[in-house]
Amino acid sequence: MEASLDVQQAASLAPKAEIDTFLGTMSGTTNTPVMTDASFLNTFAEAISRNIDKQISTSYTVGNEVLGFGELPLSETKEEYSQAFDTLFQQAALQGITTFNASGDHGPYDSPNKKPNLSIPTSAYEVEVGGTQLPFSKKLNGKQVTVTKERAWGDVVGLSKEDIVQGVFEGSGGGFSVLNPTPRYQLGFPGVNTFNAIRHLTFSKGKYVLNRDPKVISGTGSGRNVPDVSGNAAGATGYATYFTARVGKKTNPIWMVGGGTSYVAPQMAAANAVMNSGLKSVTGFWNP
């Protein structure tokens, strides 16, 4: 699904572009395949070293800044892993390649431990792509939900009671990196290293409860600020996507409406391809 929607979104915005797909090897089981850290890194290295594409997009991540890499046996630390990515993305920037990475779909925390947590990579030399919510009005789980103007994607309004109890909700990944310092191009701009949020949920007696009178909380942070750019990622105003799913010996076509930063990252890469098509020299590294 991830690879399919990436290609579909890129092709929808840049229909005349040639799209190269780089596939990493997977491990784990058939039902729960995972990409190893080495395969993820090496796939980027292959795409960058070939230097045939001037924009690269991925929506997949391996590991995260706080918890590391889960159950996978590793020889390197997460700091070393992050540094290896940083070196690769510096190379891409020098070659005029713009690299885009989805920031994630579960807000600034990792469930269920609720520690601030960004997915690796968070290099300053890539464009981290977050999500917004477009205006809409519809019933979600029996409750009328209305959004009057585009805003950051992340809300518990309209969630089921089960999702609220577990503290599970969708929203743009973002926050402050603990592995990479605030880059120079972010320093000095209003809003950098600050945050404003609404505390909709409170953890009490082993479960989350919805605050009837939620408060705005503000504060400061440090480290590389994520994301850099955002676009519509909410499922409520999402995208029609086509898949084929094999069930037994039959292959069934499926249309679904989905959302997530996985949709926005390839859109940004496609937009970059369209801009490059009208330029004598490539756009290159966006962030500065």
Summarised one tens digit per residue, pLDDT across range 51-94 is 999 999 998 877 778 777 655 566 788 888 899 999 999 999 99
Between residues 176 and 75, which one has the greater pLDDT?
176
Report the residue count for the chain.
288
The pLDDT score that the predictor gives to residue 111 is: 56
**pLDDT higher than 60, residue 139:** yes
Cβ neighbors of 226 (< 8 A, separation 6 or more) are: 103, 118, 122, 128, 130, 173, 174, 175, 176, 177
The pLDDT score that the predictor gives to residue 73 is: 61
The pLDDT score that the predictor gives to residue 21 is: 94
Q: How far apart are CA 108 and CA 175, in angstroms?
A: 6
- Long-range pairs for 153-159 at CB < 8 Å and ≥24 separation? 153/230, 153/232, 153/233, 153/234, 154/107, 155/200, 156/200, 156/201, 156/210, 157/200
Tokens matching residue 33: 């395949």
The pLDDT score that the predictor gives to residue 127 is: 97
| Percent above pLDDT 70 for the chain | 92
DSSP state for residue 103 in the 8-state scheme:
-
Average pLDDT over residues 165-179: 85
The pLDDT score that the predictor gives to residue 115 is: 67
Average pLDDT over residues 21-45: 81
Average pLDDT over residues 124-149: 90
Tokens matching residue 286: 């966006």
pLDDT confidence band for 268 (50 / 70 / 90): very high
pLDDT confidence band for 30 (50 / 70 / 90): low
The pLDDT score that the predictor gives to residue 110 is: 58
**Look-up of token digits 């205006």:** 135
Tokens matching residue 94: 């020098």
The pLDDT score that the predictor gives to residue 124 is: 96
pLDDT confidence band for 180 (50 / 70 / 90): very high
The pLDDT score that the predictor gives to residue 114 is: 61
Omega before 73 cis (within 30°)? no
**pLDDT higher than 80, residue 46:** yes
pTM of this prediction? 0.91
- CA–centroid distance for 22 within its chain: 18
203 HSE (CA, 13 A, CB side)? 8
Tokens matching residue 265: 């990252």
pLDDT tens across 183-215, in order?
999 999 999 999 998 888 887 777 778 888 888
- Is-contact 78 240, C-beta < 8 A? no
The pLDDT score that the predictor gives to residue 211 is: 85
The pLDDT score that the predictor gives to residue 283 is: 94
Average predicted confidence (pLDDT) for the chain: 87
Average pLDDT over residues 22-33: 76
Best-predicted range by mean pLDDT (45-59, 127-141, 143-157, 238-252): 45-59
23-32, 108-117, 181-190, 274-283, range with the lowest pLDDT: 108-117
The pLDDT score that the predictor gives to residue 74 is: 67
Q: How far apart are CA 282 and CA 66, in angstroms?
A: 35
